Structure 1
C-alpha cells in the first residue's frame, strides 16, 4: 500500500509539473481555447489537461508489480481518443469522424480487452439475472460511446467534467478497496491522482479565480473512455464489486444531462452534437449562481448519487428498487431541463432565501 501511495503521489506531482511545463509550448502551437460569444472565459487557455493526465497516469503505472498486458487495450483506447481530441482541438474534425474513433476505442475495449457488460444484474427481482448474450458487445460499445460523449458534453465549466470524473473514480476506488478488487482498482486510483492534480489548475478556488488549463476534447473523451473501462470492471467479471445498477448511479449526473440535451435537440430537429447553452450548469447560471458555486453543487450531487448507489448496494437495497429510484431521478432531470426557465426561477428564489438566511445569521452573531 505504501508503494502504491508513493506512485500516486508521483503521478500527481508529474501531472502538475507537466501542466506548468507544457503551457508555453501549447500556446505557441495553437493548442488553445480562444474566447467566443458561447464561452464565458475571457482569455486564451491551453488545452493540455488530457495530455498531462495521460502522461502522469501512464508514468505512475510503470513501476507496478503486476503485469499491464491485460490493460494494453485501455492505454490504446485512451491514446486513440487523446490524439483524436488534440487534432480536433487544433483543426475541428467532423463530428462523424470523432464518433467513428470513439467506436474504435470502444471496440478496442470489447474485442481486444475482452471487457463487456455481460449481465445487467437482478433488476427484475432477486435471483432473476439479465444476461445479454450476443448483445453484450454491441450494448457495451453503445454504453462506452455514450459515456465518452456525456463526459465531453459536461465539460462546460471550470472543474466540472474533471471533478465529476474524480468523484466517480473515487467511489469506484472505494468500492474496489472494500470489495478486495485487484489490479483495476489500483489503476483507477492512480488515474484519480492525476485528475486531482489537473483540478488544481482547472477548478476555481479562492487562490485561483480562473482556470489556467482546460481538458479539451482530448482530455474529456479520454477520461470518459477510462471511466467506462473501470466502471465495467467494477460491475462485471471476477473482480466485480458492485451490481451494474450501483455503477449506473455513480455515472448518473453527466449521463442524465446528456440524455436531456440530446432529447431536446432531437425534438427541435437539431443535431444532437450541436453546441448550445442549455446544459444543467446554464440553468444554475440563470438562477444567479456563480461558476464556482455551480461546480461545487453539481460535483456534490454527483458524490451524493454515487453514495446512494454504493451504500445502497452494501446495505442490501434491492436492485429493482434502486432502478426505480434512478428512473425517478432521471424523470426529475428531464423535467428540470424541459422547464429550464421555471427551474431557474425556483433556484433563484432558493438562492435568495439562502442569502437572506446567511445575512440574518451574520447580523445576529454581530449583535451578540
Structure 2
C-alpha cells in the first residue's frame, strides 16, 4: 500500500512538474492552440497535456512490481498516437491518416495485447447470451477507434474531455479493486492520477480563470485509446469485473454524443469528422450556462451514469435491467440533439424568467 501511494504521488508530481516546465518550450516550438472563430480562448495555449500525462503515467509505473510485459501493446499504442497527435497539433494531419494510425493502435491492442470483445453478455436476459464469434476482432477495432474519436470530439471545453475521462477511469479503477483484479486497476489508477494533475492546469476554477494547457489531439487520442484498453480489460478475460453493458453506462455521454453527431453529418452528406457547434456543450452554452457550469453539468452527468451502471452491476443487478435502463437515456439524448435549438431556447427562458 505504501508503494502504491508513492507511485500515485510520483505520477501526480511528475505530471504537474512537466506541465509547468514544458509550457515555454511548447510556445517556442509553436505547439500551441491559437484562437479562431471557433476557439475563443483569447491567447495561444500550449498543447502539452497529452505529452505530460503520458510521461507522468510512464514514470509512475516504473516502480510497479507486476509483469508489465502484457502491457507492451498498451504503451506502444499510446506512444504511437501521442506522436501522431503532436504532429497533428503542429501541422494538421488529414483525418484519413489519423484514422489509419488509430486503426494500427487498435490492431496492436487486439493482436499483440490479446484483448478482444468476444461477447456482449446477457443483454436481453439469461436466455440471450450474445457471442460475437468471427465478429470479435472487427467489433473490437470499431470500439477502440470509435472511443478514441469520441473522446477527441468531446474535447470542446476546458476540463470536459479530461474530466469525463477521469470519471470513467475512476469507476473502472474502483470496480477493479473491488473485484480484486490483479494488474490493470493499478495502471488505470495511475493514469487517473496523471489526468487529475492535468485538470489542475486545464479546468477553470476560482484560482484559474483560463486553462494553462490543453490536451490537444495527442492527449485526447491517447486518453481515448487507453480508456478503451481498460474498458475491455474490465469487461473481458480472466480479470473481468464488469459486464459489457456496465461499460456502456460508464461511457454513455461521450459515445452517444459522438454517434449522434457523426450519424447526423453522414445523413447530410458531410464527413463524420467535420467540426461543428452542435455538441451537447454547445447546446448548454446557447441555453445560457457558463463555461464552468456546462462542464460541471456534463461531468456530473457522466459521474452519475457511470456510478449507476458500475455499482448496479457490482451489486448483482441483472444485465437485461441495465440494458432496459440505458434505452430511455439514449432516446432522451437523441431527442435532445434533434431539438437542440428549441431545448436551448426553452431552458434559457425558464432560467431567465426566474431572475
TM-score computed with the length of structure 1 as normaliser: 0.95
The worse-fitting range, judged by mean Cα deviation, of 3-12 and 340-349 is 340-349
**In the alignment, is the contact (CA less than 8 A) between 2:287 and 2:348 conserved in 1?**
yes
Paired with 1:228 and 1:110, the residues of 2 have a C-alpha distance of 11
SS class of match (1:294)? helix
SS class of match (1:254)? helix
| Aligned residue number for residue 94 of structure 1 | 94
Structure 1 unmatched ranges of 5 or more = 357-368
Paired with 2:351 and 2:17, the residues of 1 have a C-alpha distance of 38
1:130 matched to 2:126? The reply is: no
**In the alignment, is the contact (CA less than 8 A) between 2:175 and 2:314 conserved in 1?**
no
Offset at 1:352? 3.4
Offset at 1:124? 2.3
SS class of match (2:119)? coil
1:14 matched to 2:7? The reply is: no
Q: Which has the larger radius of gyration?
A: 1
4+ residue runs over 4 A deviation? none
SS class of match (1:285)? helix
SS class of match (1:275)? coil
The Cα offsets for residues 296-343 of structure 1, whole Å up to 9 and x where unpaired, read as 110000001101101221233221221122122111111111111111
Structure 2 unmatched ranges of 5 or more = none
| Aligned residue number for residue 320 of structure 1 | 320
The Cα offsets for residues 211-259 of structure 1, whole Å up to 9 and x where unpaired, read as 0100000000000000000000000001000000001100111001101
Paired with 2:50 and 2:127, the residues of 1 have a C-alpha distance of 42
SS class of match (1:120)? strand
| Aligned residue number for residue 276 of structure 1 | 276
The worse-fitting range, judged by mean Cα deviation, of 323-332 and 290-299 is 323-332
Offset at 1:260? 1.5
| Aligned residue number for residue 212 of structure 1 | 212
| Aligned residue number for residue 3 of structure 1 | 3
Paired with 1:215 and 1:278, the residues of 2 have a C-alpha distance of 21
SS class of match (1:221)? helix
200 and 335 in structure 1: CA distance in 2 versus 1, 3 angstrom threshold: same
| Aligned residue number for residue 173 of structure 2 | 173
| Aligned residue number for residue 60 of structure 1 | 60
Give the superposed CA RMSD. 1.1
Paired with 2:347 and 2:186, the residues of 1 have a C-alpha distance of 40
| Aligned residue number for residue 366 of structure 1 | none
Paired with 2:141 and 2:333, the residues of 1 have a C-alpha distance of 25
The worse-fitting range, judged by mean Cα deviation, of 317-326 and 172-181 is 317-326
| Aligned residue number for residue 147 of structure 1 | 147
Paired with 1:191 and 1:114, the residues of 2 have a C-alpha distance of 21
SS class of match (1:211)? coil
Paired with 1:336 and 1:143, the residues of 2 have a C-alpha distance of 24
Paired with 1:167 and 1:347, the residues of 2 have a C-alpha distance of 26
Offset at 1:34? 0.1
| Aligned residue number for residue 42 of structure 2 | 42
1:1-368 pair list within 5 angstroms: 1-126=1-126, 128-352=128-352, 356=355
Offset at 1:350? 4.4
Offset at 1:264? 1.6
**In the alignment, is the contact (CA less than 8 A) between 2:81 and 2:221 conserved in 1?**
yes
**In the alignment, is the contact (CA less than 8 A) between 2:124 and 2:323 conserved in 1?**
no
